[in-house]
Chains A and B, each alone.
Chain A
Amino acid sequence: MERKRRGLTLKQRTNLTGYAMISPMAIGYILFMITPVVVMIYLSMTSYTLLKPPKFIGLDNYVKLFTNDPTFLDTAWNTVYFTLLFVPLNMLICLGLALLMYKNFKGVGFFRTILFTPYVTSMVAWAIVWKYLFQTDNGLINVVMGWFGLDPVNWLYNEKAAIPISVVVTLLKGLGMNTVIFISALMDVPQIYYEAASLDGAGSWSRFKNITLPMISQSIFLALILTIIGCFKVFAQIYVMSKGGPATSSYVFVYYIYVTAFRYFKFGYASAISTVLFLIILVLTAIQWAVRKKWVFYET
């Protein structure tokens, strides 16, 4: 059955065509995606700085990270603190907004656009405006607090406030995303379930708890993981608003990588921090994929 031309079977020619078409992307992908990961793991086991070429030191960087680096502990805690504040607030507000908006009503498109406007804005510009609003002297937030007889607060150079403020700024910027994801999940719940439940006399809370929540739980879970990953990648708002400070009170993973590599020029050590962050995100993504795979099989 196999046709032969130029000494190749049809199957072989198909393979060659396929490989030829994916090869530009494959070469670029190996060079600029796989190689950096390998180089990162290699550099993380070297004592590479601006002055010293890479020299292999085994796991010394990791040992130092976890046993003898208070800044790394601060960084890890700040990132976790950010995540613990951000994720529940984001999930609850977005779910609430989605419940308000998923049924068609006058102006729904308008509100959706407004909700998404900060999301499309660059984080640098958004954070700069909020930095201005949070100024101690003549910043609008302190002025408004003054109208109510409250004393001005030093928001920006304040160890206790640095992370919570970046949470608020990030939260307001990102509301649109998860809200839109939840809206599309809510619209997928078959209306007939609600009708049946209503006939059985279920109240609105019981309908929400017994129908809505289970039906959209996949979307909630996927959004949850994505949101946590997002928290571990926070950078621009910290860079603009607090520069990690005061002291190290708002150092987060990516900021610590940035400072280690490009202020202290310890590239080896920065690669070790990058590898730790990479592993955390890898585990989170793997969980997300595993769970989704299970759901996909379940659905079909």
Chain B
Amino acid sequence: MKHNTSIRRKRLYITILKYCVLILISLLLLFPFYWMVITSLKSSTQIFVFPPELFPRHITFENFTELFNHMKFFRYLWNSLLVSCVNSFFIVLISGITAYAFAKIRFAGRNIIFIFFLAGLMVPVEVITVPLYFMLGKIGWVDKLRSLMVPTIFGSGGVFGLFILRQFFITIPDDLCEAARIDGCSHLGIVFRIVMPMAKSAIATVVIFTFANCWNEFFQPLIFLSSQSNYTLPLGLAMFSDEGGTKWHLVMAASTLATIPLLTVFYMCQDKFIDSMAMSGIK
């Protein structure tokens, strides 16, 4: 009996310790967000109050209205949204068709060709950006939003989509596709009417991963884009923070606005989001 209660007490201590550690880490990770939002609600004079107010007595939204005069926020938002949506859509479309061919059509050399595609997973975006800049310059694509779309759709993003979708398509029974063939359905018809609708979860993984990556991508926009009207959100934010200097109330307002959209989507479908991201790690 005595032995039993001491084990139970030990378990209780461990549970308490566990919660303490997790709560501490959570506070550490959430505090930067709190500080960002709180600072964005302070006036320009409150920023310089010493010591800084952890819970400001006055809050104001004027930073956000002032911000829109300094920074084409909605333009950047639109550009980011456009690049992320176009890339997600075309990656699902093109790598979906390609994945179907690799999974269901027994053409000669398909394994070797697939490995040739997979090799693309080894090439990081950062490495090929300088030669891409050189190539895009030759065809006049520098400082155009398509410089963030086409190379991603056929490069890193597309290869990831191909890998995930092929893996899922293989699990769909061949009989299903063959039955559709006998009924006179074309291969493209099978892709869009049978295979894709069955692969909703795999497609969601590809869309979430692509969207989040394109939304947060910084290196390529920094190099390919030069006119402000083409900036994506992370680029606009970094440039504004370089110019803004010590106007921390405005810089934090800009950071808050840039952070909210994707985090909102994340909180709406967090489980699927986390699984999709983890999939890219396990792949």
What is the interface of chain A, defined by CB distance below 8 A to chain B? 11, 14-19, 21-22, 24-26, 28-29, 31-33, 35-37, 39-40, 43, 97, 100-101, 105, 107, 109, 111-126, 128-133, 138, 140, 143, 146, 172, 175-178, 180-181, 184, 222-223, 226, 229, 233, 235-236, 239-240, 254, 257-258, 261-262, 267, 270-271, 274-275, 277-278, 281-282, 285-286
Whether A117 and B29, one on each chain, are in contact in the complex, defined by CB atoms closer than 8 angstroms, is yes
Contact of A128 among B29, B102, B255 (CB under 8 A): B255
Whether B95 and A25, one on each chain, are in contact in the complex, defined by CB atoms closer than 8 angstroms, is yes
Q: How large is the interface on B (under 10, 10 to 19, 20 to 34, 35 or more residues)?
A: 35 or more
CA distance A24 to B93 in the complex (A): 11
Which applies to chain A's interface (DSSP): helix, strand, loop or mixed?
Answer: helix
Q: Which residues of A contact B106 (CB under 8 A)?
A: 14, 18
Whether A116 and B277, one on each chain, are in contact in the complex, defined by CB atoms closer than 8 angstroms, is yes
Whether B131 and A37, one on each chain, are in contact in the complex, defined by CB atoms closer than 8 angstroms, is yes
Q: Which residues of A contact B122 (CB under 8 A)?
A: 281-282, 285-286
Q: Which residues of A contact B266 (CB under 8 A)?
A: 116-117, 120
Chain A: which residue is nearest B156 at the CB level? A33
Min CB gap A82→B, angstroms: 15
Contact with A along B246-281 (1 / 0, CB 8 A): 001001100100110011001100110110011001
Known pairs A25-B94, A121-B263, A132-B39; A114 contacts B274 (CB<8 A): no
CA distance A43 to B129 in the complex (A): 13
Q: What would 18 more interface pairs be, CB under 8 Å, given A28-B155, A261-B133? A: A15-B108, A40-B127, A113-B270, A116-B277, A117-B29, A120-B212, A121-B216, A131-B241, A138-B51, A180-B274, A226-B281, A233-B124, A235-B218, A236-B218, A236-B219, A257-B126, A277-B127, A285-B121
Q: List 9 A-B contacts (CB under 8 A).
A: A22-B98, A29-B159, A33-B154, A33-B156, A117-B30, A124-B237, A125-B234, A126-B32, A175-B29
Whether B123 and A261, one on each chain, are in contact in the complex, defined by CB atoms closer than 8 angstroms, is no
CA distance A22 to B263 in the complex (A): 35
CB-contacts of B6-21 with A (<8 A): 15, 18-19, 21
Q: Which residues of A contact B233 (CB under 8 A)?
A: 122
Q: Which residues of A contact B277 (CB under 8 A)?
A: 116, 119-120, 176-177, 180
Whether A143 and B262, one on each chain, are in contact in the complex, defined by CB atoms closer than 8 angstroms, is no
Whether B248 and A18, one on each chain, are in contact in the complex, defined by CB atoms closer than 8 angstroms, is no
Whether B278 and A274, one on each chain, are in contact in the complex, defined by CB atoms closer than 8 angstroms, is no
Q: Which residues of A contact B55 (CB under 8 A)?
A: none
Chain A: which residue is nearest B186 at the CB level? A17
Instruction: For the complex of A and B, list the 10 residue pairs with the smallest distance between their C-beta atoms, beginning with the closest.
Output: A18-B107, A28-B154, A21-B101, A36-B128, A39-B131, A40-B131, A122-B216, A25-B98, A32-B151, A124-B234
